[in-house]
Structure 1
């Protein structure tokens, strides 16, 4: 079993909260993690029709079977349980009584907000971080392999080939999870929407343009985007709220939370296809952004990432908000440092008054420049600890 960096944080949350909710996309390793951390707790999958029926029809009896608590897997399937769960956990001072997992954040948070607010610690578990799969920088394969494979655990253990795993993952997601949230009548159109979305990775999300291509109105597109967000397939990177000038864009940028899934949706199966693909740079940017997101979510921290772009074409790929400081990050898929890497950084740093910036790229040379900009190999940045 591959060690998850979220393990210690999960134990910490269970020492403070009576209930801990571990949320994330289907097949991200939630069940494996919670069962390994809490091996003595009874485990109940609410995907099981008989268990789910028992929980829905007799919630008191169902929960009464677990006086010391339990792991309730895919608990968003039984929202009826939450009101009864509140009474049970309130009767005992013990922390870490129930461990809940869920693959739909909207359904789970809706139920928790109504019944368990203030009693639950949250941990978002996404697919593997690179530092979980590969123990040190020298072992990390090239970025093209990483973009093709993604980070979902079954790709690594037991090692299912990507061309077999991703089509089945997409089919299961659309046929089961999407219908659980919203009764979409034409799933073929919804699948076409997901594939079109993959072609916009790293771009601003334009609902009207997408609606025209898919053949539905922008409100429907907004609803469908919400489904993908709540089930942890995509992440919308918001523009930073602080106006350094008055002409910044307001639409979010779109990223998928797994580059292997994007590659599959784009029909990219081999490294030679990826090397010349027009979206290679956007896919590499997606890889870096998702790694930055995982660093935060796997420690139960709020995501502190934004982007900045004005309407004259100046853009910063990522702004890391550290409270007092904003760190601008430019992400480049090239291997050779050139002056174009620094144009937007210099413009933004002069505009904002910030003194530090960073370029993450695929080359081997590192630089600490006199203007406060550091140039780092992306592997060195993520493996610097």
Structure 2
């Protein structure tokens, strides 16, 4: 990804540039290997660079944080800040003294405790970018994917597209192993990696399902409170997202548990032992992985606009009426249903009619069925079939 000829333009590039002109510091968070370091090095190739992945640098940043910050030449990229979360207080002092925009660019693959320290020390002084793996849109624009189905089974991690010789069946286990050792054990201090690995696989097969701590506890064989703590670890390390239900009024008639989505379909599929689209189609997980793809494209699209907590929900009544995704926009909604079909009909959109029964005909701005169509097209009554590669909301 550092090779300019291999560079895949990221949707977040303009956002990072804009934030660097507004704030003294910019914090780029996201999953391990999502491309955080690469995007900063690409945008700011002349800035000084230090990584706390280097044990000597990390030790200095932890043991003598003020000396560490004083030794830096600004503007500077500080990579892997999760290894020295206390440096934010010292960055604040440097920022307040210099009074210049775009001086510190910080990356971290763990939201917690980084975000806590960030909000305490750099409130109002730091722009935040949540960088996910490559979207289908980013890859299709560069002609790097042959089909959405291939993208779903491959996933969006940049390394898989930077080197054609990489075998994802080998790359993903290595990725998971590094994640367990570096993030789960060292930063989150989880005791049993064997149990956590089993838990990770159990979570993968529940992508696009309502979260149940009791079910996971039974499957993995650990206490529900441990499962809750471990789910927090997955959220903090950008492995999963918990999508909250929308329940404006109508309280008791609506489901209130979040739905769980893996933040990369390739990683989820690999954890399930599915290595190609044909494997996925032959499994019972095809619908869930298509819905996970749909969620990720919508979520990444909103994040790239600088919306760090997108008003994105699902909607479901206790009698089973539902809409997969609801985006709130100015008091109205964009409604999206994910369907595996390549030939959608208005029957695919029946959830929208239930939703409008509850909230009124005028509540919904746009209605989409996100499905396996080659080209976006209308299917009637204001409903449009889209494939999720190019989103315009």
Query: Of 23, 29, 32, which residue of structure 1 is paired with 2:29?
Result: 23
1:156 aligns with 2:161: yes
Q: Is the 8 A contact 1:181 1:227 kept in 2?
A: no
1:112 aligns with 2:122: no
- 2:351 is matched with 344
- 2:275 is matched with 269
Q: Is the 8 A contact 2:185 2:193 kept in 1?
A: no
Q: Is the 8 A contact 1:17 1:96 kept in 2?
A: yes
Instruction: Give the TM-score normalised by the residue count of structure 2.
Output: 0.92
Q: Is the 8 A contact 2:346 2:380 kept in 1?
A: no
Distance 1:366 1:84 in 2: 50
- 2:327 is matched with 320
| 1:202-250, Cα deviation, whole Å (9 max, x unpaired) | 1100011111111112111111000000110101111013134631111
| 1:14-71, Cα deviation, whole Å (9 max, x unpaired) | 1010111000011011111111111221100001011111222222222112253311
Unaligned ranges ≥5, structure 1: none
Instruction: Give the TM-score normalised by the residue count of structure 1.
Output: 0.94
Deviation at 1:279, TM superposition (A): 1.1
1:83 aligns with 2:89: yes
Query: Of 243, 252, 261, which residue of structure 2 is paired with 1:237?
Result: 243
- 2:296 is matched with 290
Query: Of 69, 75, 81, which residue of structure 2 is paired with 1:63?
Result: 69
Could you say what the CA RMSD is over the residues aligned between the two structures, in angstroms?
A: 1.9
User: Which aligned runs of 4 or more in structure 1 are off by greater than 6 angstroms?
Assistant: none
Cα 1:292–1:121, aligned 2, differ >3 Å: closer, same or farther? same
1:53 aligns with 2:59: yes
- 2:3 is matched with none
- 1:372 is matched with 382
- 1:307 is matched with 314
Unaligned ranges ≥5, structure 2: 1-6
- 1:176 is matched with 182
Distance 2:112 2:321 in 1: 35
Q: Is the 8 A contact 1:74 1:100 kept in 2?
A: yes
Q: Is the 8 A contact 1:144 1:275 kept in 2?
A: no
Distance 1:295 1:350 in 2: 28
Q: Is the 8 A contact 1:235 1:256 kept in 2?
A: yes
For structure 1, which segment, 264-273 or 59-68, has the greater mean C-alpha deviation from structure 2 after superposition? 59-68
SS in 1 for 2:256: coil
Q: Is the 8 A contact 2:369 2:385 kept in 1?
A: yes
Distance 2:313 2:104 in 1: 34
Q: Is the 8 A contact 2:47 2:76 kept in 1?
A: yes
Query: Of 43, 49, 56, which residue of structure 2 is paired with 1:37?
Result: 43
Q: Is the 8 A contact 2:48 2:74 kept in 1?
A: no
| 1:150-187, Cα deviation, whole Å (9 max, x unpaired) | 00000000232211110000000011101133322211
SS in 1 for 2:186: helix
- 1:6 is matched with 12
| 1:92-148, Cα deviation, whole Å (9 max, x unpaired) | 221011110000011211221222222111001110111211217x87533321111
SS in 2 for 1:317: strand
Deviation at 1:262, TM superposition (A): 0.6
Distance 1:88 1:377 in 2: 47
1:211 aligns with 2:217: yes
Distance 2:50 2:73 in 1: 14
1:129 aligns with 2:135: yes
